[in-house]
Amino acid sequence: MRLNLNIWRQVGRDTAGRLEDYAAADVSPDMSFLEMLDVLNEQLIAEGGDPIAFDHDCREGICGACSLVINGQAHGPDRETTTCQLHMRRFRDGDVITVEPFRADAFPVVKDLVVDRSAFDRILAAGGFVSVNTGSAPEANSLPVPRPDAERAMDAAACIGCGACVAACPNAAAMLFVAAKVSHLALLPQGEPERRARVVAMVEQMDREGFGNCSNHFECEAACPKGISVANIARLNREYLRASLGSRES
Ligand code: SF4
Ligand code: FES
């Protein structure tokens, strides 16, 4: 296939960016989207140009590092698929493809298609953990968890922290990400001791980072490569209300 690419180029955080045209020839339908960019970068390097910066790590849909907006959709056109798992067979010969970074005030562009998502790390550091006593692991049956709760907790734990929910939201809200992290721990007995303090701290950090608020567009769920349900946002709101009305120490 031969493709016409419009790719966002930006030298740094404080410089203006722009879309630039590139022609990608000999693209195999079996290439992943990132492999197609690798080939384009080899071509740019061979011509003495500056390769296009983009984030990636596992390329297996599990780490959350890849982060492109492809033709206006975070992670591209396939549902529940990260950019690294998107394949060029999804496109047709001669297609024009626009590639941009995840856009949100809280995710400033570092270079080209790479954005700084450390705001998520700070939200997690504010409360996305459990404090446990050291010692040997407790006997599994000493903490029975009802099967439906375990299923819901594991579904929420599938969040890979990619930030597509923020990029897809018209308010650049991080509610689905925070909701997944809060739900994962709130549904399990291990998360109970810090349950109230956790949700308040994580929501306060989310606000400090400059993310917007949820207004029920549900674009986050549509863009999420792990199928995280907006039902978790409803749980986050309940958890926050409950914690705000009670003591933050328990
Ligand atoms: S909720 Fe989904 S889209 Fe948002 S960070 Fe987690 S995996 Fe990515
Ligand atoms: S590179 Fe790890 S999820 Fe895409």
**Which pTM value belongs to this model?**
0.94
pLDDT tens profile 201-231: 999 999 999 999 999 999 999 999 999 999 9
Q: 87 CA distance to ligand 1 centroid (A)?
A: 20
- Work out the pLDDT band at 6, boundaries 50, 70, 90: very high
**One-character DSSP codes across the chain:** --EEEEEEE-SSTTS--EEEEEEE-S--TTSBHHHHHHHHHHHHHHTT-PPPP---S-SSSSS----EEETTEET-SSTT--GGG-BGGGS-TT-EEEEEE---TTS-EEETTEE--HHHHHHHHHH-S----SSSPPPGGGS---HHHHHHHHHHHT-----HHHHHSTT-B-HHHHHHHHHHHHTSGGGSTTHHHHHHHHHHHHHHTT-B---S--HHHHH-TT---THHHHHHHHHHHHHHHS-TT-
Q: For residue 229, which ligand has an atom nearest its CA?
A: 1
Which atom in ligand 1 lies closest to the alpha carbon of residue 75?
Answer: 3
247 — pLDDT class (breaks 50, 70, 90):
low
- In tens, the pLDDT along 139-196 reads 878 888 999 999 999 999 999 999 999 999 999 999 999 999 999 999 999 899 999 9
Q: Which protein residues touch ligand 1 with a CB less than 6 Å away?
A: 159-165, 176-177, 180, 223-226, 228
Residue-averaged pLDDT of the chain:
95
